[in-house]
Amino acid sequence: MTGAPSPTTLRQHDWVPRGGPEQRLRSWTPLGADTLGLGRVLGPPATDGEVVVAAWSPGGPDVGVAARELAALVGGWLRDHPDDGTRLVLVTRGPVLARVGDSPVHTGAWGVLRCALAAHPGRFAMADVDGSPESLLAMCRAVAAGEPELAVRGGRVFVPRLVPAAGSATPTSEDVVLVVGAVDGAGGVLARHLAARPRTGRVVQCAADARGELDDLARTVPLTAVVVAAADPAHLWAVHERTRALGLSRFVVLSTAAGVTGAPGAYRRAAAGAYADAVVRHRRAEGHAGTSLAWGPWAGRRSRPDPAERDWWSRLGVAQLSTIQGLRVFDEVWDSDGVVLVPLTGPTGSTPEADLPAALRDRLPSAT
């Protein structure tokens, strides 16, 4: 990569119809029983197939437990197949393009798989299907063509990409904004920033685990907007449930781009980030306000990425945002109508497309 990085580009994480060629999957092997019914679509499995296919679902409703289960499966696969280049395809049913009322837990676990893909390009793929024969066949053809992440409905393949962000929201006057969590970190930075905005009235803060205080605020204070600065899954869901009836004009969750792209070693944060994105989509499907701001590297956050993750972002050509740049991004997000928004500085450098996260496969365009 040469030259300075381009200005920050705000993009939305979305699922779009897949273009490009398909290929025939030459052979396949199930991991365990063929519960998907692939044999009826592709014919008998091979002993040593081109890909190994495994159906997966979480063992319970806790996203942390589900993430650990999946991380153990991924780690075991890498230990058992360290050098043979075999690709494991994990198949789920329902978390992507989910209906209203579906649990976000599955989607949180997808953050783990994105981290595995980031650390081991070409070794994994993940697909979410509706179970129909035409969808299973379309899934196999897209996987054979090298697509690492996809959802299939009625035989149509959708892939995650960063697309241009949605337009601006209708301006409102926020009388009272509640900032939940991270008082001494990003939450504190943003609370002070919000208090200085011309259209913001009062800003109040409470800890993420102070549910009694949150209940009191929701009952006694005319809250019109909420910022969740600590996206722990249990705390986030509690804030969602306690404020869903308030008719909020804004509900912004500070998440992580690792939930969208993955990142080496960031399994826990990526799972929490993907879960946060799913909660926001769940809110929007129910008709409530909701936006996830999925931060990449930003100096305003208290936590710092470990060296492997920092080096990975650098190889992609993604620079760390300064605190001031991050606040400008926050203003843009606050005034937008986007759902899952990802601020990254491009370009993505010279990384081969096959080694890029699925969301970056079309490359980040320079800001205009």
CB 323 within 8 A of CB 315: no
Tell me, what's the pLDDT at 261?
Answer: 94
Q: What is d(CA 43, CA 216) in angstroms, rounded to the nearest whole number?
A: 60
pLDDT digits (tens, 9 = 90+) for 174-210: 678 999 986 667 888 888 888 888 777 789 888 888 8
5: confidence class by pLDDT, cuts 50, 70, 90: very low
Helices (H), the chain: 38-42, 63-80, 105-119, 133-144, 186-195, 211-220, 233-243, 258-261, 267-285, 307-315, 323-334
> What confidence tier does 214 reach under pLDDT thresholds 50, 70, 90?
confident
CATH of region 10-162 = 3.40.50.11460
* pLDDT surpassing 90 at residue 98: no
106-119 burial, b if ≥16 CB within 10 A, otherwise e?
Answer: bbbbbbbbbbbbbb
Question: What pLDDT score was predicted for residue 100?
Answer: 55
The residue with greater pLDDT, 172 or 357, is 357
pLDDT of residue 293: 96
Based on DSSP, count helices (H) and strands (E) in the chain, helices before strands: 11, 13
- Confidence at residue 300, expressed as pLDDT on a 0 to 100 scale: 73
Q: What number is the average pLDDT over the span 164-170?
A: 71
- Under the banding of pLDDT at 50, 70 and 90, the label for residue 3 is very low
Place 95 in a pLDDT band, splitting at 50, 70 and 90: low
- Is residue 363 a contact partner of residue 6, using CB atoms and an 8 Å limit? no
219-243 average pLDDT score: 90
Residues 6+ apart with CB under 8 A from 5: 317, 318, 319, 345, 346, 347
pTM above 0.85, yes or no: yes
- Between 63-72, 161-170, 196-205, the lowest mean confidence (pLDDT) is in 161-170
pLDDT the model gives residue 4: 36
- Does 259 have pLDDT greater than 90? yes
Residue 304 has pLDDT above 80, yes or no: no
Q: Please check the confidence at residue 238 and state whether its pLDDT lies above 50.
A: yes
**Would you say 254 and 293 are in contact if contact means Cβ atoms under 8 Å apart?**
yes
Q: What is the mean pLDDT of residues 321-347?
A: 88
Q: Determine the residue type at 141.
A: R
Residues of the chain with CATH 3.40.50.11460: 10-162
**Cα–Cα distance for residue pair 62/251, rounded to 1 Å:** 23
Confidence of residue 9 (pLDDT cuts 50, 70, 90): confident
Q: Residues with Cβ < 8 Å from 293, sequence gap 6 or more?
A: 252, 253, 254, 255, 329, 330, 333, 341, 343
Residue 284 has pLDDT above 80, yes or no: yes
User: Cβ–Cβ contacts within 10 Å for residue 316, how many?
Assistant: 25
Q: What is the pLDDT of residue 349?
A: 61
The whole-number pLDDT of residue 131 equals: 85
pLDDT of residue 195: 86
What value does the mean pLDDT take over residues 312-332? 88
For residue 328, the model assigns a pLDDT of 92
Rounded Cα distance between 227 and 205, Å, is 9
Give per-residue pLDDT as tens, 137-165: 999 999 999 999 999 999 999 999 998 88
174-349: CATH topology:
Rossmann fold (3.40.50)
Task: Decide which of 305 and 164 is more confident.
Answer: 164
Q: Is residue 2 pLDDT above 70, yes or no? A: no
Residues 183, 208, 8: CA angle, nearest 5 degrees: 60
Residue 278: which of 53, 92, 124 has the closest Cα? 92
Provide CATH 3.40.50.720 ranges for the chain.
Answer: 174-349
pLDDT tens digits along 245-258: 999 999 999 999 99
Q: Is the pLDDT of residue 365 over 50?
A: no
Q: What is the average pLDDT score of the chain?
A: 85
